[in-house]
A and B are shown apart, each in its own frame.
Chain A
Amino acid sequence: MHGLLSILIWLPVGTGVVMLLLGDRNVAAVRWLALLGSLGTLALAVPLWDSFNSTTAALQFTESLAWIPRFNAYYALGVDGISMPLIVLTAFMTVPVVIAGWSVIEQRPAQYFAAFLIMEGLMIGVFSASDALLFYFFWEAMLIPMFLIIGIWGGPRRVYATIKFFLYTFLGSVFMLAALIYMYVKGGSYSIAGLQALPLTLIEQRWIFVAFLLAFAVKVPMWPVHTWLPDAHVEAPTGGSVILAAIMLKMGGYGFLRFSLPITPDASRELDLLVISLSLIAVVYIGLVALVQQDMKKLIAYSSIAHMGFVTLGTFVVYEILRRTGSVQGAAMGMDGAMVQMVSHGLISGALFLCVGVLYDRMHSRQIADYGGVINPMPVFAAFMVLFALANAGLPGTSGFVGEFLVIIASFRASFWYSFLAAVTLVLGAAYTLWLVKRVVFGPVTSPRVAALEDLNPREFLVLGALALAVLLVGVWPAPLLKVMQPTIHHLVSQAIATKV
C-alpha cells in the first residue's frame, strides 16, 4: 500500500488536532474518536507487518518528497527490520493508553487524548524517518506533548519532573543536531543512508559519537544520565508512564542502532568498553537501587533502566565478540537480543505501569507499604500482576526471557565477566519484582481500604489481557519477530564492523 507510513504518522496526528478543535464540550465523542484513531492506526499497522518482506535489509514502504530542497532534506520514510517492529509496538501500545484513560481522566480529557495521539504519530515518524533532519524534527517535536502530559496531568511534583525531563532530553539532542549539521556541511545530505556512507576521520567520528551518545544515552537512559526517568515516571499519569517506558526509551536504543554504529563504526569500536561498562553499571547498580524503592512506580522505573542496560550491552558487545571470536553470527546474536529486549520491555513495562495505574485509580497511592493482600479482593488482577512480574524477572516462556537470554549468551562469547554481571540481574530482577509482588499482592489483607478494592472491570481486563497475550506470544514463539529482524541485523553488523577511516 503506497503511503502507508504517512498515513500511520498523520492519521493519529490529524485525529489529535480534530480533538483539540472539538474541545471538552462533548467528552464522550472525544473518547470514542481517540479510540477510533488509535485502533485505526493499529489496524493499519497490521498490513505493515503483513506485507513486510523479511528477506531483505533494504528499506521498504519507502516514500520520498522534496521537503527542503535548500538543505537537500527530504520527507523520506521507510522501514526495515529494526524500525518496523517498533512502529507496530507504538501502534499497539497507544490503544491500552487510550482505554486506560477512558473514564479516569476528568481534567481536560480532549487535550489528554489529543496529546497521546499526536505523540503516537510523532513517534511513528521517528521510527520511519529515513532522513536525519526529518528524524530530528519528529524526535524533538515529540517532547512538546510529553512535556504537557506530565506537566498537566501529573502528580504533585510534576513541574519539577517535566522540566527536568525536557531539559535533559533537549541537552542531549542539541549536540546530536550539531553533529548532524556538521555531517551535512561535509557531505551535503541529511539522508541517513548518505550519512552512513560518509567517510569520516577517526577524530571526527569520536566527536560525533560523543554527541550521539549524549542524545541517546539520555533517552535510553543510561547511568549516570538516568536521573530524570524515575522523577518523570513517578509524576507522569499512567498513560504517560506507559508511553515513556514502552516507546520513548526505545528511541535511545534505536538511535544507537540506526546512527551510532553505522555512522561512527570506528569510534564505536574504540569506545565500546565505555558503553559496555555503563550498561553493566546500569544492570547491576540500578538493580540494587530498585530493591530499596518504596514507591511502586519508582521501582518499575529503576527496573526499566536496568533492563534497558541489556539493550545497550547487546548492541555494543558486538565489537568485543568480534575481537574475541571473529564470529559475525555471534555478534548478530547480541543485537538480536537487544532488539527483542526492546520490544519485550515495551510490552512488560507498559503492562506493569498499567497495573500500578489500576491500583492507583482505586487507592490513590503508589506506596508499597499501603498495600498488601491485594489478591484477596482482586484475584484476576493479581494473576495479571504476577504474570507481568515474572515476565519482568525473565521467566522462560515470557518475552522477558528471550531478549535477556540472547544478550547473556552473546556476551558470554565476549567475556565470562560480562555475562556473569548481566546474569546477576536475573537474580536481582527476580528479587525486586517478586518482593514487590509479595508485598503488594500476597499476604493477609493489611487495611480495610485494600479489602474494599474492586477487581478489574471489563475495560481493564481487556487491556491487561491483550498485553498478557502479547507477552506470552513473544515469549513462546519469538521466531517471527527474529525472522523479521534478521536480514537488517546482519546488514547492521556488517556496517558496524566496517571501517570508515
Chain B
Amino acid sequence: MTDTTMTWSSLAPAVPEICLVTAICAILLIDVFAGEKRRGLTATLTLLAIALSAALTVQYAHVTQRALLFDGMYVADELSFVLKLAGFLVVATALLYSRAYLENHNILRGEYYVLALTALLGIFVLVSANSLLTVYLGVELLALSVYAMVAFDRDSGISAEAAIKYFVLGAIASGALLYGMSLIYGLTGTLDLSEIAVRLSAPSSLGVTMGLVFIVVAVAFKLGAVPFHMWLPDVYEGAPTSVTLFIGTVPKLAYFALALRLLAQGLAGMSVEWTQMLAPLAVLTLVIGNVLAIVQTNLKRMLAYSTIANVGFIVLGFVAGTADGYAAALYYTLVYVLVALGSFGVILLASRKGFEADQLDDYRGLYQRDPLLAFAMMLLMFSTAGVPPLVGFWAKLRIFQALWETHHLWLVIIAAAMSVVGAYYYLRVIKLMYFDDPVGQQPPASTPGGVRVALGLNAAAVLALGVLPQPLLNLCARLIH
C-alpha cells in the first residue's frame, strides 16, 4: 500500500463506480432542467447510462487477478466484476418493468431514477469492499437510498409506515454492525479485511466472538433471516410494487457479497463459530418463511415470505462453510434474483391505473386474460418450487450437495421437507391463474410490447438455464475458487 500515486490506468477496475457517479450527477442535473413535461427523458437516459456504463465496465474493468485500490480499501476481482454486471442488468430490467407503473401512480420522477442509481452505487461499493469502513459505507449508501425509495409515494400512508419501519429497524441493524466492527477493530487493530483474516487465524478471545455475534445479527437482518425478518413482509407489502421489485432483487447480490466478504473472507478463522450461529438461523428461516407464506392473501407479502424461505437456502450454503458452499450460495442468489425479477415483474405488468394486482385473488383466471403473463408466472413459480426443468431446481440441488459434502444430514432432511411445504403456495398461485375463472371484467393490461418481450425473455432464461445449467454453475464455482 505504499504506492499512493494514482494513475488513470490504475483506476481502471473502478470504472463501474466512476461511470455510475458521473451518470448520477448528469441525470440529476438534466432532470432538473428537463422539467415536468419530459419525465420520460430521464427514464430513457438512465437506461442508456446503465448500458453505457456496463459496456465501459466490460471494456476496461475486466480483471482476472485480484487487484487492490485506494490503499487496500477497495478490491476488484472477478466476483465483483460479475456481480456488478449482474447489478447493471438487474437494475436496468427492473427500471424497464417499472416505467408504466410509475406513470400510472404519478410517481414518475427523476429522483426515483437517481435513487435507484445511488442504491446501485452502494451495492458496487459493498461488492468491492475490502475494509470494514468500505463495507459500512456501502451498506449505508444502499440502505439510505432504499429507505427513500420505499417512501417515494408520498401520499401513501402504508408506504410511509413501511419506510419508517424499515428505517428504524435498519438503523438498529446498522448500529449492531458498527458495534461489532468496532469490537473486531479494537481487538485486531485493523480495518482491512485481509489483515483481519490473518490476525484472527489464531484461537480468538471472547471479545472477538462478541463482535462476531453483532456482525452475524446485522448480516442476518440485511438478508432477512429469521428472527431478524420482521421488517421484510411489511416493507415488501407497503412499498410501491416497483420499489418492492427493486429491493427484492439487486440488494440480494450486495448482501451475498456482504456475507461473503465479512464472514467467509474476513472472519474465515472463526468459521466454526459463525456456522454454528447460522445453522439454527437457517432452519428457523426455512420453517417460518415457508409456513407463514401459506396463509398470506397478498401476493407481495407471500413473495416476501418466499424471499425469507429462499434466504434460508442461501444461508445454508454459508453453513456448509466450504468454497463449494459459498459457490452454491452465489448460484442460489443469482437464480433467486433472476426469478424474483420476473415474479415481481409479473405483478407490475398485471397492474393498471387504479388497480394494484397485489392480492392473490386478482390472479384468478389470469390465464384467460393474459396467457403470456400467466405462462411466465407459471414457469417462475415452478422454478422457485424447485421443479425441473427450471433453474430453481439446480439451485436447490447445489445447496443439498454442499450440505452432504459437509455431512449435514438433518439440515438436508429439513430443507427437503421445507421445499415440499414451499411447493404448496407456489402451486396455489398457478391454481389461481390456470384453474380458476376470472372474477369480474378486467380489461387486459396495456403494457408496451418491449416490456412484455423482456419479461418473456426473463422467463425463458429461467427455462434455458434449467435445461442447460452448466455455464452458470461453472461461472459461480470459478468466481469463488
Contacts and interface: CB of A to CB of B under 8 A. Distances in A.
Contact of B387 (A68, A143, A178, A182): A143
Most chain B beta carbons < 10 A, residue from A71, A136, A143: A71
Contacts of B474: 70
Contacts of A71: 473
Given A136-B388, A141-B388, A185-B405, A178 B470 contact: no
Given A68-B469, A70-B470, A167 B424 contact: yes
B427 interface: yes
B435 A159 contact: yes
B246 interface: no
Interface in A140-191: 140-141, 143-144, 147-148, 151-152, 158-159, 162-163, 166-167, 170-171, 174-175, 177-178, 181-182, 184-185
B144 interface: no
Given A70-B470, A70-B477, A178 B427 contact: no
B400 A140 contact: no
A475 to B, nearest CB: 38
Given A70-B474, A151-B434, A140 B419 contact: no
B401 interface: yes
Determine the main DSSP class of A at the interface with B.
helix
B416 interface: yes
A68 B416 contact: no
B420 A167 contact: yes
A435 interface: no
A177 B431 contact: no
B427 A166 contact: yes
Contacts, number: 79
A148 B401 contact: no
Contacts of B431: 151, 159, 162-163
Contacts of A163: 424, 427-428, 431
Given A67-B470, A68-B470, A140-B388, A184 B427 contact: no
A211 to B, nearest CB: 9
Contacts of A141: 387-389
A496 to B, nearest CB: 26
A137 B388 contact: yes
Interface string B240-281: 000000000000000000000000000000000000000000
Interface in B399-439: 400-401, 404-405, 412-413, 416-417, 419-420, 423-424, 427-428, 430-431, 434-435
A107 to B, nearest CB: 10
Contacts of A143: 387
B423 A166 contact: yes
Interface string A55-71: 00000000000011111
A165 to B, nearest CB: 10
Contacts of B214: none
Nearest to A148: B434
B400 A178 contact: yes
Contact of B400 (A137, A158, A181): A181
Nearest to A183: B404
A167 to B, nearest CB: 6
A174 B419 contact: yes
Nearest to A154: B435
B215 to A, nearest CB: 31
Contacts of B387: 140-141, 143-144, 170
B393 interface: yes
A485 to B, nearest CB: 29
B231 interface: no
A151 B437 CA distance: 12
Interface string A341-383: 0000000000000000000000000000000000000000000
Determine the main DSSP class of B at the interface with A.
helix
A171 B420 contact: yes
A175 B417 CA distance: 8
B382 interface: yes
B245 to A, nearest CB: 26
B67 interface: no
A158 B431 CA distance: 10
B423 A167 contact: yes
B413 A178 contact: yes
Given A68-B470, A141-B387, A147 B400 contact: no
B189 to A, nearest CB: 41
A57 B84 CA distance: 53
A170 B404 contact: no
A110 to B, nearest CB: 11
A152 B434 contact: yes
Most chain A beta carbons < 10 A, residue from B386, B397, B435, B473: B435
B401 to A, nearest CB: 5
A184 B401 contact: yes
Contact of B420 (A67, A69, A174, A184): A174
Contacts of A174: 386, 416-417, 419-420
A178 B388 contact: no
A455 to B, nearest CB: 35
Nearest to B324: A185
Contacts of B424: 163, 167
A68 B469 CA distance: 7
A151 B389 contact: no
B382 A144 contact: yes
A21 to B, nearest CB: 11
A147 B435 CA distance: 11
Nearest to A23: B371
A241 to B, nearest CB: 18
Contacts of A136: 388
A181 B401 contact: yes
Contacts of A170: 385, 387, 420, 423
Contacts of A148: 434
B429 to A, nearest CB: 12
A417 to B, nearest CB: 36
Contacts of A166: 423, 427
Interface string B452-477: 00000000000000001110011001
A71 B476 CA distance: 14
A178 B412 contact: yes
Contacts of B389: 137, 141
B240 to A, nearest CB: 32
A71 B468 CA distance: 12
A120 to B, nearest CB: 16
A114 to B, nearest CB: 12
A158 B437 CA distance: 14
A71 B404 CA distance: 14
Contacts of A167: 420, 423-424, 427
A67 B477 CA distance: 17
A432 to B, nearest CB: 32
Contact of A177 (B400, B423, B434, B435): B400
Nearest to A133: B397
B435 A152 contact: yes
A69 to B, nearest CB: 7
Contacts of A184: 401
Interface in A266-309: none
B423 A181 contact: no
Contacts of A162: 431, 435
Contacts of B428: 163
B397 A147 contact: no
Most chain B beta carbons < 10 A, residue from A70, A71, A158, A181: A181
A137 B430 CA distance: 21
A67 B470 CA distance: 7
A151 B393 contact: no
5 contacts: A68-B469, A70-B477, A159-B431, A174-B386, A177-B397
For the complex of A and B, list the 3 residue pairs with the smallest distance between their C-beta atoms, beginning with the closest.
A174-B416, A185-B404, A151-B435
Given A170-B420, A181-B397, A185-B405, 12 more contacts: A68-B473, A143-B387, A147-B430, A158-B435, A159-B431, A167-B427, A170-B387, A175-B416, A177-B397, A181-B400, A182-B404, A184-B401
Interface of B: 382, 385-389, 393, 397, 400-401, 404-405, 412-413, 416-417, 419-420, 423-424, 427-428, 430-431, 434-435, 468-470, 473-474, 477
